[in-house]
Amino acid sequence: MIYEQSLVVIAAFIAAVVFTPVVRKLAFRFGIVDRPDPLRKLHGRTVARAGGVAVLLAVLVACGGAIFRFDTKNLLNLDITPYIGLLVVMIGVNLLGLADDIWTLRGRQKLLGQVALAFILAMTGFKIMHVQVFGFALELGYLAIPITVMWLLATTNALNLIDGSDGLCSSLGAVISGALGVIASMNGHFAEAAIAFALCGALIGFLVFNFPPASIFLGDSGSLLIGMITGALAIRCSIKGPTSVAFLAPLAILSIPLLDSAMAIVRRKLTGRSIYTTDRAHLHHSLKDKGLGDLGLILVVIAMALITSAGAILSQVLGRDWLALVGTGSVFAALVLTRAFGHAEMILVARRTRNFAKSLLEPAGKTAQITHSKTVRLQGTRHWETIWNTLVEFAEAEQLCKLDMDLNVPWLHEGFHGSWHRSRQLDRLDRWSVGLPIFADGRIAGRVDVSGPANDGETLPSVAKLVELLADLTPQIEAIMAENASGATLLVPTAANVDMFDSENLSGVTT
């Protein structure tokens, strides 16, 4: 069996090496390229996209060759419905990603296509009917299809989000698919193992051209393809008995991209951003901010993926589900404790939990004047605290109820969030709320959201003062954005920034 698996990997590798230059040439000819921009795409050169087409072709060639090595009798007895469904979905998700590579689809359009494709997989045999965790079986019943679709959407978009550096998604996808192939072989799912190893070989072959500095990118046609295939294979590879999925092993194997996506959702929701907001605080961005180059980043992420995959495989070999959690937990703990990734997000979660707990214990009416001010640096090193302190002084002077400042400057790898509020909040009908953008260098650099008591004749003047304050702070914000690592050009607040309110009238206790 090892011999056959090796042949599949080699065949896919060779096919990818052959197809990728052809796809790259066609991508340039038809303008399917990734051009740098000052906000997100900082690679500095025009690079071909749609590399996922070459990966798909390589997988299909390798799997097609593997069919001829099946025993004819066993092949005739095999239920091919799931594999037909997977083939349709592989082509469909590749075309969906290719359309985005060419025309840049809206998020909801891609999501609708992904839901339809995930539903096809769920209806053709890739459905999670039962889940095994620590020896306990949970029957999903009517929730089987919705949970399956959500799982496939999670894996698909997780691999898509982490595709932000040369060779990263390809390398990570190769480790993930290889680990899934090992587990499939252990559980006797040889067809699924062949598909997984074909994807592994195809991605290694694609890496020849995608390795830093990349001459072709996967594009959405590739990252969505990898995410959908690995999500589907994770369901089939880990099945033990009739449709019962040992859930922790595939979860551990896919934990690196899933953790990255989870932290992005936490970061954006708890700072008031849309989950579709662009930022540069993903795992690969954070590791690069620690000084890693493209090659170092790939090696570190591969090492982490190997640890989580090893834990998953050992959990299957020894029958100890907790080993899968140990591998994933140790990697995530190391990232958080070294502040390499996830530290700011954990602070946000802890503070939100603590504030909720305190709100349950604080007596009503006795803490109305107590205010709480917290900040968290999401990314970068610039001195945003001076801007925040000025806004807090304004909020206290104007007797506001709540103030949030969220600075998101992805082109500088900077992110900062501040939250100020009174312990006792007025009812929604008794307060006004307004959100204002923060402009700097002609671009939106963040947002301020405030609310205050709805007193007749005082609301509009407070809003006008806030608008004026933000305009006065703009030069300081631009100066902070222009400062070097040591903060040499940092400007400090002056009286001109706060002359619209009397600082001697500040009240409340800040904690």
CA angle 67–252–305, rounded 5-degree value: 80
**What are the pLDDT digits (tens) for 481-507?**
997 544 444 333 333 333 333 333 333
Taking only the tens place, the pLDDT of each residue in 35-58 is 876 555 555 689 999 999 999 999
Angle between helices 255-270 and 294-318 (to 10 degrees): 110
Task: Quick: pLDDT tens for 377-405.
Answer: 999 999 999 999 999 999 999 999 999 99
Q: What is the pLDDT of residue 71?
A: 53
Contacts (Cβ under 8 Å, ≥6 apart) of 499? none
What is the domain partition of the chain in residue ranges?
2-247, 370-510
CB atoms within 10 A of CB 286: 23
- Write the Ramachandran bin of 457: left for phi over 0, alpha for psi from -120 to 50, otherwise beta: left
Q: Say whether 427 sits in a helix, a strand or coil.
A: coil
Question: 364 pLDDT band (50/70/90 cuts)?
Answer: low
Q: What span, in angstroms and rounded, lies between the C-alpha atoms of 91 and 69? A: 24
CA pair distance 326, 79, nearest whole angstrom: 36
pLDDT, residue 296, reads: 96
End-to-end CA distance of the chain: 64
What does the pLDDT read at residue 227? 98
The CATH fold of domain 370-510: Beta-Lactamase (3.30.450)
Query: Which DSSP string corresponds to 28-48?
Result: HHTT-EE---SSS--S-S-EE
Instruction: Return phi, psi of residue 15, to 5°.
Output: -60, -40
Contacts of 338 (CB under 8 A, 6+ apart): none
The answer to whether the beta carbons of residues 420 and 289 sit under 8 Å apart is: no
d(CA 145, CA 498): 57
CB 313 within 8 A of CB 183: yes
What's the pLDDT at 486?
A: 44
In whole angstroms, what is the distance from residue 447 CA to residue 511 CA? 23
Spatial distance between the Cα atoms of 67 and 75, rounded to a whole number of angstroms: 8
Most confidently modeled range among 17-31, 126-140, 280-294 = 17-31
Instruction: Report how far residue 268's alpha carbon sits from residue 347's, in angstroms, rounded to the nearest whole number.
Output: 13
According to DSSP, residue 425 is labeled: P
Read off the pLDDT band of 279 (50, 70, 90).
confident
Between 363 and 341, whose confidence is greater?
A: 341
Looking up tokens 């959407």, which residue turns up?
153
Kind and range of the H or E run holding 440: strand 431-440
Strands 414-422 and 402-409: antiparallel
Closest CA to 302 of 201, 467, 174: 174
Alpha-carbon distance of 435 to 449, in angstroms, equals 4
Tokens of 258: 């899933």
Question: Of 188-197, 364-373, 401-410, 412-421, which gets the smallest average pLDDT?
Answer: 364-373
Give yes or no for a contact between 224 and 97, defined as CB atoms under 8 angstroms apart.
yes
Per-residue pLDDT reduced to its tens digit, 76-119: 667 889 999 999 999 999 999 999 999 999 989 999 999 999 99
Q: Which range, of 63-77, 172-186, 284-298, averages the lowest pLDDT? A: 63-77
pLDDT over threshold 90, residue 283: yes
> Does residue 144 have a pLDDT over 70?
yes
pLDDT band at 72 (very low <50, low <70, confident <90, very high): low
User: Residue 345: is its pLDDT beyond 60?
Assistant: yes
Mean pLDDT of the chain: 88
pLDDT digits (tens, 9 = 90+) for 286-317: 999 999 999 999 999 999 999 999 999 999 99
The string of pLDDT tens digits covering residues 229-250 is: 999 999 988 776 555 567 899 9
| Statement: residue 74 has pLDDT above 90 | no
